[in-house]
Structure 1
């Protein structure tokens, strides 16, 4: 016995980890992620156009804005008699000319023919300027029919 009358016992060290608090934390995190995951739907559903699209009714007066792969702009115009003219223009001159065509014909349809190698943002910027600055209500992208595959 010792002087105090108590026995000193040696404590054994436990070699195990108490995982109960960790399980509680993991369950709380799981619930948080399950609740917030459906709210994080940041994507927008986009329906991409099909390559084999239906043909559009061809108006008598056609105006085609052509965007080359280097961003150069051209205005292709076909009148009622079938005569076609092509002019290489700067963007401002092209918008002014299309605005004049729109003033003469309020139901004007403008087709934008973008080269396959042209930057997408360039083609969309021209399309947006035709709708806003030139006042064209019917401006659409021009596509070509796909080549038939041979068996």
Structure 2
């Protein structure tokens, strides 16, 4: 007969420290991999005093023109391979047929001939793009 002894009640609480550790590990992983997900062609954009456009719901189609005047399209996994003008026109037309409100942007290298940029803009209009935006780097921003 143990009259003086009390029965211990179990403590029901969640230890959140392991969850915080997991969250911090995931945060570090995402911080490291996010810059690696950016794909594209290296283009030296001209600098301009322009306001950034409003964020759109749809990801824009971006056609790049590199120093050598080659065209690149950011659709699919083959961003790094140049694309022929007629294939570019056909692929843009397909995308715009499925999603007509998709914004279309052109990234022209700073040292590329202006005529090449105008040619790609004409191709995009023939493909059905109602308007084409030009991309630039803001002035005074170092790389």
TM-score range for the pair, normalised by the shorter chain length: 0.5 to 0.7
TM-score by length of 1: 0.56
User: Aligned partners of 1:52 and 1:85: how far apart in 2?
Assistant: 32
The residue that corresponds to 2:137 in the other structure is 144
Distance in 1 (CA, whole Å) between partners of 2:82 and 2:141 is 32
Unaligned runs of 5+ in 1: 1-49, 79-83
Are the counterparts in 2 of residues 62 and 77 from structure 1 also a CA contact under 8 Å? Answer: no
Q: Is the 8 A contact 2:65 2:109 kept in 1?
A: yes
The 4+ residue runs of structure 1 with deviation greater than 3 A are none
Which residue does the alignment assign to 1:69? 67
**Equivalences for 1:1-151 in 2 at 5 Å?**
51-59=48-56, 60-77=58-75, 86=79, 87-131=81-125, 133-148=126-141
TM-score by length of 2: 0.59
8 Å CA contact retained: 1:64, 1:111: yes
How many angstroms apart in 2 are the aligned matches of 1:148 and 1:62? 23
Whichever of the two has the greater Rg, that structure is 1
Can you list the C-alpha shifts for 1:51-107, whole angstroms capped at 9, x where unaligned? 1211112332221000011111100148xxxxx761421111111100001001111
For CA contacts below 8 A with separation 6 or more, give which structure has more relative contact order: 2
